[in-house]
Structure formats: structure tokens, C-alpha cells
Chain A
């Protein structure tokens, strides 16, 4: 009896401590983001003078005005990023799941060799220059929209994760049973594996989607037509460009446009993170499960 009371008292103490700690951690996570949002609405001169504050000291929409100066270009960049993310994630998921499925089949003869070959590329890579040469001189993808999608489709780490995930969640016996029932390999893949591996697909889909959404480097390297920039690169480059213009001597004419760099930086963070935040609640329930399964069995 007494033991039980003590136990519940212990757990009450534990709960209290846990709540406090978790609340502190949440505040630590939310505060910086709040600062970012608030700074994005603050007047540039106020930031320079007084620094950042939780509530805007002097409210201003100047930063957003600067970003959306040419609305059609930024919405086009949004469109390109969304197309990249949706197409890349769906196509990538399909290809990665298919590869993972094949590689975990015990009746695939060279599965270990192929797995090792894929794994090997995570350790030793050709490097930037050879990649650039391959993309531009052999695939002729310079300034081509596909260059933003193709390189990210297959990722060795995700393939290995998927392979282990399917191995753990789809028992080989089910596949054998399906074979006896007359299903061919593709049918087995689409009807059985894809539905049993949903948590894994959600996890890897999220990884892929984030990678496509956040990608600015491929745009930076290969795209030279501004109309084809992805959102992240469009914004990042906008900032770099204003900084470069500041450092550069303007010969012959004074433009006299001073971009609000501090608040613009923050407004960009808001513009970039906003939409992708909506993705989390959707896939969160699969996300936790999927990540641990893949990790433990890995």
C-alpha cells in the first residue's frame, strides 16, 4: 500500500520534472523561430540599432515587399520547387522502394554484390568536378529542368534504409504465398510490399521531399536561366546578389537602392519553411515508427 503511494508520488515528481523539462525544450525550440518571424516584420533600421526582439519594435513589411518585388518570378520559383518536390518524391519513392524490394529478396542472386556496390558509393565518391563533367558533357543537363530532379532520385542511404525496412516488415512467407496464389513480381511489389511498407515509404518520402524542397545547390551549379531557379536558390541568390552589389563599385551610375538585408534574411526563412511545415503533421505518425524500425534492424 505504502509502496504504491510512494510509487505514484515518484511518478508525479517524475511527471512534473518531465513537463518542466519538455516545456523548457519546447520554448527553446519555439523562441528562435518566433524571433525570426518577428524580425522579418521589423524595420531594418530598428534591427541595426536595437537588435532583435520577440515583438517587432517598429512594424514594417519592407522585407516582404523586397522579396515579392517581382511576384511572378517568385511564384514561378515556388511552382518549380513544388513540381520538383512532388515529381521527385513520387518517382524517387517508387524507384527506391523497387530497388529495396529486389535487394532484400533471398532469390535475387547478386543482391549482396549489388548492395555492396551501392553502399560503396557512400564511402567513395567521384567528387564535384567529375559529377559536373558527367552532368554537363555526357548527359547535357546544363540549364535543363530535369537536372533538378534526376540526381536526387536515388540515394544510397535511402536505398539501404528501404531494403532493411522491407526485410523487416514484409515476411518472405507472404511473398511465397502470393507467388503460389499466382501473383507476379510486379503485382507482389505494388499490392503487398507497398501497402505493408507504408511507414517506411512515409519516412523516406519525407527525407526525399525535404531534400528536394531544400535543394539550392543543383540550381546554383547547373541552372543559368533565372526562370528555372528553384525557390531556395532564388531567395539565397537574391541575398547574395544584394551583398555583392554592395561590395561592388557601381561605375557610372548610383543606384541608391539599399536592400534591407537583415529583415529580408528572416523573411526568407519564413517564406521557405512555411509550406514544408504542413507536411510534418501528415506523415508524423508514420515517421516515428518508420525511423526506428529501419534504424534498429539496420
Chain B
């Protein structure tokens, strides 16, 4: 009996160890590319992307490897971080010094901070040598936008899109009660009032935010009342006028701030949102989907609107969904900043030239690009009158459109869109007329100098500002005074001074006047 146990243990260990596999690579003769890049050594590139790998990735990878072996004498391994704890993994991948050849960058993955810390290779001089076609393909504003300290660390994506917010509402309800078209705060207010009065069980506005904050309505006034208040502001209470971007001024505590908070109080008193909104964990998407919510806000950009249109049509074909982009009121809209989607070569890469040459292929070579964006033609998708059409549905097809999360290697010349995207294109065409470049979103403040103050301020905003924004404080003026006093105690002035200093340095760096 003891013998069998021992044998079992030994077998288990042996079985576990036998999972270990090895690959061997063969040598080939000396080779160079047309541009003179030495590719005589075969290499395997480690390619990292955020999110989840599509189910059929191995098949696509095999196809790409066939092409890459012939063109560049290399193979690629596509790795995915999954969305679980992605930011922690992203940091580990860069700090552990693992040999990685290509990794995704974005302003929301802290591109600036990592670039400054030396996590990526400086590719300013390398680009024209290793990837001359791609180097020309990306225009000057793209290269200028991603510069950190005058150097280039990432290859920006060239597809121009707008990730600009707005809100969705029930157009069928608006028509039912014969309300005027929603195009201002006043008409929005009228819509909410009527719907709440006549549709029992419905909620006006909702928000789920982890940090106990209520900022959805903030974006309403910020975007619709104040053309000077840009997306993502106020940052630590600071805002800047688009006409004079260098001058950051304090919005918190100002007369405008007080007026906004009083407006929120009025809305809260009218019952536009639940009294327990600060502790609500209900999912807004589900609420809207099930007809419980009258107005859906928070991150509703044109793409999401198009997605929702299809989703609602599937479950409630009798509804009609309206969309109002904030920028219609203010006329202020920017295409995404060049740092929004990019690919960098991490400092630990052993094959930076080959990595860039391969990335050039993925963007500019139609075979690579279509394969990694849409899959294998005929098996995963078909091009139908210039539109993208999936073969089967998401349950049977293992490689959906852009399911490799290929935002950063989109090539506008090869892109295929689904018919439902026409709604987005229409909005983009509208934005194109008034769009100005995004000045602010390439800047990420380094908060290490005021880490302690930031933590203190975060708890002050959660405690005092959130209830004010949710309209739950009876005396708004006194509440705001209290918040300002607490924020000052937490070190608001120090934070703002440091923020200003860094912002001006960034402006000088990027030539913002």
C-alpha cells in the first residue's frame, strides 16, 4: 500500500515534469532585408498586448509566422495579459527585465511615466533604419505628439477617432410625451422631469463608481455649460481655457463651481437620481438595458452608442435610442491624442530592429494587417461591399473583428467596418468640422512629489465633494466652504503648484503656447 502511494507520487511528479517542452530552431544562411537590415539569425519575437487572446489566435499566429519567416526570418509569439489585474502585470513585465520585443502603450497605461523611467527603448534614430515605410506612414503630428523629452518611445496609430462623451436617452419616450428635441440642459431637464413623473419605477441618472464619487453630472455641466472646461478636467481642481491652454486656473471654489453645485442640488431635489447614489452598485448598462434608466451617461462615446444601438435592437426592438454628444453644445472636440494607441519596444528587448521591422509589416503590409485585424478571409470574415461581415456569429467564430485588440496597428487604408458603424462615421464627420487638436491628454502628471497630499485630498473629495456633487448637502455654500477648507488642509495648494510647474514644463517641451 505504501509502495503504491510512493509510486503514485513519483508518477505525479514525473507527469508534471513531462509538461516541460522544448523547441529547437534551425540556422539559415546570411540574409539582409531590402533596407539592409541583417536578418541572418532567426528570432522569435515576444509580442504583448492587453486583454484576452481570441480563441482562434493559434491559427492566425501560424499564418503570420509563415509570412514573417519568409520576409524577416522571424516568428512571433502573441501574448496577452488578460484584463485581470492588467496594470499590475504590465508593470511586472516592464520592471522584471523579461525579454519582450513589442508592447502596447497608451496614455491610460502611463506611457509618459514609463517612458521617463526608461522602460522603453528610444527609437528616434532606429525608426528610419529599421522601419522606413512605417516611419513615413506616421505623420509629423503623430511623431510630435508621442515625444517625451524630445525623444520618441512609441509608434502611434494613425486612425483618427473621437472618444468623446455624450449621453443616451429614450427617444421613444421623448416622442411619446411630445417633448422638444433634446439639445440643451433645459430640454434634458424637461425630458427627465416628464419621464420620471409618468413612468413609475424609472430612475433618471445613475452611476457606478468604485471610489465613492459621483461625477457623471459633473461632465454634463463641464461639457455643456463651460466650453473652457476640457475633457478630463478639473484635475485637482484645475482647469484651462482652450484659448489659453498654458494658464491653469482653480475651478474648485470658484463662482462657476458654486453655481454648478447648486444646479446639482436642484436636480437632486427633483429626484433625478436616487438618494443612495453614492453607495449604489447597480450596473448602469443593465439598468438602461432593462428599461429602468432614462438617461445613460459616463463614457458614452459614439462607438459605445453604436454598440448599444445593436444591443437594444436585439432585446427591445420597440425602443428608440437617442444620443446627444456634449460637443454639440460647446463646439469643442478633439480627436484622440497620438499617445492613445501605440507600440513600444521595451528596454529589455534583444531584437529591437527586427521588432520594429515586424511591426512595420503589421501596419503597412495588407496581408499581415487584415490577418491580425479580421482573421482569415472566408473562414472568419468576408468583405461585403466594402463592409466587414463576420462568418457565423460570436458563438461559432473564434476570431471576431479586431479581437486581437489591434487598436494600435490599425491602418485607415485597409480598415473594414460593420454597417452599424455608419452611425459613428456620421458623428465623426460632424466632429471633423469643428475638431481641434487635443493638447491636454498627452500630459500625465507625475504625482510622486505630492503622493501624501494626493492621498489626503482623495479622501477629502470622497468625503466632502462627492455628496456636494450628488446634491445631498442641504446648504451648498457652507458645504463648498467646508470642502475647500479641508482640501487646503490636505495640501491642495501644494498639489496645484506642482501640477502647474509640470504642466508648464510639458507645454515648453511640446511647444504649446
A interface vs B, CB < 8 Å? 44-45, 48-49, 69-70, 73, 83, 86-87, 90-91, 94, 128-129, 132-133, 136-137, 142-146, 149, 190-191, 194, 216, 220-221, 224-226, 233, 236-237, 240-241, 243-244, 246-247, 249-258, 261-262
Q: Which of B20, B80, B292 contacts A49 (CB 8 A)?
A: B292
Cα separation A251 to B314 with both chains bound (whole Å)? 19
Determine whether the beta carbon of B98 is less than 8 Å from that of A142: yes
Of B84, B303, B394, the contact of A236 (CB 8 Å cutoff): B84
Q: List B contacts of A145 (CB < 8 A).
A: 16, 19
**Contact A44 B80, beta carbon cutoff 8 Å:** no
Known contacts A133-B96, A194-B2, A240-B82; can you find 19 more A-B pairs with CB under 8 A?
A45-B290, A87-B15, A87-B16, A94-B9, A129-B96, A132-B92, A137-B98, A144-B19, A145-B16, A221-B89, A226-B55, A233-B84, A244-B51, A249-B303, A249-B304, A250-B306, A253-B388, A255-B310, A256-B310
Residues from chain B with a CB closer than 8 A to the CB of A128 are 92
**Interface contact A146-B290, CB-CB below 8 Å:** no
B497 to chain A, nearest CB (A): 33
A254 touches B285 (CB 8 A): no
Q: Which one of B15, B306, B402 has the greatest number of beta carbons of chain A within 10 Å?
A: B306
**B315 on the A face (CB < 8 A):** yes
State whether A249 touches B301 (Cβ < 8 A).
yes
Q: Per a CB cutoff under 8 Å, which of A129, A146, A220, A252 touches B85?
A: A220
Q: Which of A70, A91, A137, A256 has the most CB of B within 10 A?
A: A256
Instruction: Judge whether B20 and A258 touch: CB under 8 Å.
Output: no
Q: Could you say which residues of chain A place their CB within 8 Å of the CB of B306? A: 250, 254
- Given the contacts A48-B292, A145-B19, A249-B301, A254 and B9 also touching, CB distance less than 8 Å: no
Taking a contact as CB atoms under 8 Å apart, the answer to whether A252 and B394 are in contact is no
B311 touches A257 (CB 8 A): yes
**Which of B19, B79, B395 interacts with A224 by CB under 8 Å?**
B79
Q: How far is the CB of B413 from chain A (nearest CB, A)?
A: 14
Interface residues of B in 1-55 (CB under 8 A from A): 2, 5-6, 8-9, 12-13, 15-17, 19-20, 51-53, 55
Q: Shortest distance in angstroms between A260's beta carbon and chain B's nearest beta carbon?
A: 9
**For this complex, into which size category does the number of interface residues on chain B fall?**
35 or more
CB-based contact B285/A258 at 8 Å: yes
Q: Which residue, of B6, B9, B394, has the highest number of chain A Cβ atoms within 10 A?
A: B9
Q: Which residues of B contact A262 (CB under 8 A)?
A: 283, 286
B interface, CB within 8 angstroms of A: 2, 5-6, 8-9, 12-13, 15-17, 19-20, 51-53, 55, 79-85, 89, 92, 95-98, 159, 161, 163, 282-283, 285-287, 289-290, 292, 299, 301, 303-304, 306-311, 313-315, 388, 394-395, 400-402, 407, 410, 415-418, 420-421, 424
Interface Cβ pair total, 8 Å cutoff: 157
Quote the shortest CB–CB distance from A82 to chain B (angstroms): 12
B402, A146: Cβ atoms closer than 8 Å: no
* A251-B407 contact given A48-B286, A256-B310, CB 8 Å threshold: yes
Q: Is the CB of A254 within 8 A of B95?
A: no
Contact residues in A for B55 (Cβ distance below 8 Å): 70, 73, 226
Is B84 in contact with A253, judged by CB distance below 8 angstroms? no
Contact between chains at B311 and A261 (CB < 8 Å)? no
Distance in angstroms between the alpha carbons of A73 and B5 in the assembled complex = 31
Q: Given A220-B84, A224-B80, does the pair A252, B402 have CB atoms closer than 8 Å?
A: yes
A91: chain B residues at CB < 8 Å are 9, 12-13, 16
Of the candidates A137, A225, A254, the one whose C-beta lies within 8 Å of that of B421 is: A254
The docked-state distance in angstroms from the alpha carbon of A94 to that of B10 is 10
Whether the Cβ atoms of A251 and B402 lie closer than 8 Å is yes
A246 and B283 CA atoms in complex are apart in Å by 11
Are the CB atoms of B96 and A255 closer together than 8 Å? no
A255 touches B285 (CB 8 A): no
Q: Name, among A136, A233, A243, A253, the residue most crowded by chain B CB atoms within 10 Å (CB to CB).
A: A253
B16 touches A146 (CB 8 A): yes
Which A residue sits closest to B99, measured CB to CB? Answer: A137
Partner of A253, one of B5, B285, B308, B417: B417
Q: Are A241 and B20 in contact (CB under 8 A)?
A: no
Contact A256 B314 (CB under 8 A): yes
Q: How far is the CA of A146 from the CA of B95 in the complex (A)?
A: 23
| Chain B positions within 8 Å of A146 at CB level | 16-17, 19-20
Chain B residues, CB < 8 A from A236? 84
B82 touches A258 (CB 8 A): no
Chain B CB within 10 Å — which of A128, A149, A255, A262 has the most?
A255
How far is the CB of A208 from the nearest CB of chain B, in Å? 13
- Please indicate which of the listed interface residues A86, A143, A226, A236 has the most CB atoms of chain B within 10 Å of its own CB: A226
A90 to B13, CA, bound (A): 9
- Asked whether, in the complex, the Cβ of A136 is within 8 Å of the Cβ of B299, the reply is no
Q: Is the CB of A149 within 8 A of B16?
A: yes
- Among residues of A, the one whose C-beta sits closest to the C-beta of B373 is A252
Q: Is the CB of B84 within 8 A of A250?
A: no
Q: Considering the chains assembled together, what is the distance between the CA atoms of A11 and B18 in angstroms? A: 61
Closest B-chain residue to A221, C-beta based? B89
Given A90-B8, A254-B309, A262-B286: A129 in contact with B95 (beta carbons within 8 A): yes
**A contact residues around B400 at 8 Å (CB):** 253, 255
Cα–Cα, bound, A146→B424 (Å): 47
Closest 10 CB pairs between A and B?
A: A256-B310, A253-B418, A244-B83, A249-B303, A254-B310, A145-B19, A87-B12, A224-B79, A254-B307, A254-B420
Q: A190 to B286: give the CA distance in the assembly, Å.
A: 58
Beyond A221-B89, A254-B421, whether A144 also contacts B20 by CB under 8 A is yes
